[in-house]
Amino acid sequence: RVVAAGGYDPNIAFWDESPGSQTFCPTPGSERECGSNYTNNFGEPPQELVAAAKSVFSTIYPGKDWAPTLECGDSFGTPSGDGLGLCTGTSMSAPQISGVVGILRSINPLATTSKPVLGFGDVAGIRSVLAQTTFEAQIAQGWTPTFGHGRVDAAAAARRMLGTVQGRTVKNRVTPLFRLYGANAKDYADTTSPQFAIAIAINQAGAYQTQGSLIPGYDEFPPDPGAETPLPTPRAAIYVLTTEYKPRPEWPALVPLYQMDRSRNYPIGCTPPTPGCNTKNRDYILVTTTAHIEQAYADGYKLRTIQGYIYQPCTVEPACIPPGTEKMYRACKTADDDCATFLESERTTFEAAGYTAAYPSGSNKVLGYAYPYADNDPPRFPGGPVGDGLVDGFEWVIGTKIDSWDSDGDGDGDVEEFPMVGVAVSDPCSGLGGYSCPADVIFKNGFQ
Ligand SMILES: [Ca+2]
Ligand SMILES: [Ca+2]
Ligand SMILES: [Ca+2]
Ligand SMILES: [Ca+2]
């Protein structure tokens, strides 16, 4: 679960200021920096990746110098007071690599940690994508003890994680929006992050359990060695997009799903019927507009993170609604201080359970359009199971056929070539069948 991050200097040489021998590092009695760590010894944890470490330009607390003897702070590089300055150390390298990991996780929340070098039977994931897409790997330079697999290339890593269809990097992917309901908390909560779903589920006081359909290819959340109770099985009723780029020009623009939550007993110490008094534990909600973020904040909700994207409401319905999607609603059950999100096909059930109130009051309950669970490709062989393991929404977005298990007719299934759970293995629209998949293009002339 750990990436060893080393550092290089402005000349893109390994950062090494040791005085001839590592024996004297750090120099006793001084604050001398000696450079980046690594090992030559077989069997010790090897260097994995490197990022800039020496004189790295960064945001800094305005007017503050962290370590003047190390030339680290707001005074260095630019004038003091502008909140920008230089600093040196592998502490500057690690967050650059962590940031790229965050990008990869947001593109594909179901990708596993994996390993930098895959052995037989290993599945590609974040660490293999990073190691295989460094600037050094791109020119076939192998691993070294100091540089490891080399310098992280964020754009190349993002392209690999997005995947290639019909020879082009796709713009977007689709991922399950995990739904949890807390019987004690009386709260529906939604997240695309498996790790966040685990965090909600292990809240024993809330008694959260997953709801919705099983997720093809994703039978369990990442195991938690410290979990005291078994984690619930991953389930979802709604599938959403993972980047802000609309997959096809003719489809509506996308809007973010901002997650917000409100603690129990807000306002602090309140008792019903104080207006807005929430006594039922947390309420997680999703909002899509700045105005609604501000309204929810005024009502005691705190802003967390973007959980994904959906198509924004369009006119004129139904012609403008993207194929395969349904209307996605946010509605609230006032008696439980709870707001939930659900699709058109679930509306009758949720309304019967009391989820009828608009939040904010008077607003449109329709947030936009998202994908339901559906997978109905004809069987691979007579009498075989229906579906190819890729939900229709995922296939609509990447461009494979929703009515064929093998869009390009090369004998390899769409789900093997381009899994929703994991990293694309090959191009599902490059085979002998000659099918022209309609995936759009990103990075054609640089970042969109
Ligand atoms: Ca809720
Ligand atoms: Ca399918
Ligand atoms: Ca298919
Ligand atoms: Ca194929």
Residue 24's pLDDT band, with cuts at 50, 70 and 90, is low
443 within domain boundaries:
no
Of the three residues 325, 343, 372, the one that is the final residue of a domain is: 372
Is residue 148 in a domain?
yes
Cα of 406 to ligand 3 centre, how many Å?
A: 6
Cα–Cα distance between 288 and 243 in angstroms, integer? Answer: 14
Q: Please enumerate in sequence order all residues whose Cβ is within 8 A of that of 363, keeping only pairs 6 or more positions apart, or say none.
A: 292
Separation in Å, CA 385 to CA 5, 83, 220, 444: 45, 59, 21, 38
pLDDT score at 445: 45
Distance CA 426, CA 60 (A): 43
- Residue ranges near ligand 3 (ion) with Cβ within 5 Å: 377, 388, 400-401, 414
Encode pLDDT of 346-372 as tens digits: 999 999 999 999 999 999 999 999 999
User: Is pLDDT above 90 for 158?
Assistant: yes
Instruction: Looking at the structure, tell me whether residues 129 and 207 fall in a common domain.
Output: no
What is the number of the ligand closest to the CA of 428?
Answer: 4
Q: Which ligand does the CA of 404 lie closest to?
A: 3
Region 401-428: mean pLDDT is 94
Give me the domain span that covers residue 236.
174-372
Q: What digits encode the pLDDT tens for the residues 106-157?
A: 999 999 999 999 999 999 999 999 999 999 999 999 999 999 999 999 999 9
| Confidence tier at 447 by pLDDT (50, 70, 90) | very low
- pTM score, two decimals? 0.91
E strand or H helix at 195: helix 194-201
CB 335 within 8 A of CB 308: no
Centre of ligand 3 to C-alpha 404, Å, is 4
74 in any annotated domain: no
pLDDT band (50, 70, 90) for residue 310: very high
Is 235 among the domain residues?
yes
CA of 38 to the centre of ligand 2 (A): 46
Q: Cα dihedral sign for 406, 410, 413, 417? A: negative
Count of other CB atoms within 10 angstroms of residue 364: 10
Confidence category of residue 446, pLDDT binned at 50, 70, 90? very low
- Per the rule left: phi > 0, alpha: psi between -120 and 50, beta: everything else, 281 is left
**Among the three residues 349, 372, 395, which one is the final residue of a domain in this structure?**
372
| Beta strand ranges found along 204-337 (DSSP E) | 208-211, 213-214, 235-241, 254-262, 283-287, 302-311, 326-333
pLDDT at residue 448 above 60?
Answer: no
Mean pLDDT to the nearest integer, 291-297: 95
Q: How far is the CA of 173 from the centre of ligand 3 (A)?
A: 15
Q: Could you give the percent of the chain with pLDDT greater than 70?
A: 91
Give the CA diameter of the chain.
Answer: 77
Ligand nearest to the CA of 398: 3
Q: Which amino acid is at 211?
A: Q
User: pLDDT at residue 264 above 90?
Assistant: no
> Within a domain: residue 168?
no
> Ligand 1: distance of its center to the CA of 245 in Å?
27
Q: What is the pLDDT of the chain when averaged over all its residues? A: 90
pLDDT at 294 over 50: yes
pLDDT at site 434: 55
Q: End of a domain among 346, 372, 398?
A: 372
Considering the domain architecture, whether residues 212 and 309 belong to the same structural domain is answered as yes
147 shares its domain with 248 = no
Is the predicted pLDDT of residue 442 greater than 60, yes or no? no
The percentage of residues in the chain with a pLDDT greater than 90, rounded to a whole number, is 73
d(C-alpha 373, C-alpha 260), whole Å: 25
| Other CB atoms within 10 Å distance of the CB of residue 167 | 11
Which of 205-209, 288-292, 307-311, 393-397 is predicted with the least confidence, judged by mean pLDDT? 205-209
- The pLDDT score that the predictor gives to residue 168 is 84
| Amino acid identity for residue 323 in this structure | P
Q: Are residues 151 and 178 in the same domain?
A: no
Q: Which ligand is nearest to the CA of 386?
A: 2
Residues contacting residue 28 through CB under 8 Å, at least 6 positions apart: none
Does 287 map to a domain?
yes
Q: Are residues 116 and 228 in the same domain?
A: no
Output the pLDDT for position 235: 98
Distance 431 CA to ligand 4 centre (A): 6
Residue 79 falls inside a structural domain: no
Of all ligands present, the nearest one to the C-alpha of 285 is: 1
More confident residue, 419 or 264: 419
Backbone φ, ψ for residue 114 (5° rounding): 60, -160
CA atoms within 13 A of residue 144's CA, in its CB half-sphere: 13
Beta bridge partners of 174: 241
Strand blocks (E) in 53-186: 56-59, 65-67, 72-73, 84-87, 164-165, 168-169, 174-182
What are φ and ψ of residue 148, in 5° steps? 60, -130
**Residue 439 alpha carbon to ligand 3 centre in Å:** 14
The DSSP 8-state label assigned to residue 224 in this structure reads: -
Per residue in 228-255, pLDDT (tens digit) is 778 899 999 999 999 999 998 899 999 9
Q: 155 with 235, same domain? A: no
Domain count for the chain, please give it.
2
Q: Reply yes or no on whether the pLDDT at 207 is more than 60.
A: yes
Say what the pLDDT of residue 438 is.
62
Distance (angstroms) between ligand 3 centre and the Cα of 403 equals 6
Residues 109 and 183 occupy one common structural domain: no
Is the residue at 180 inside a domain?
yes
Could you tell me how many residues make up the chain? Answer: 448
Using CA atoms, how far apart are residues 214 and 217, in angstroms rounded to an integer? 9
How far away, in angstroms, is 393 Cα from ligand 2 center? Answer: 8
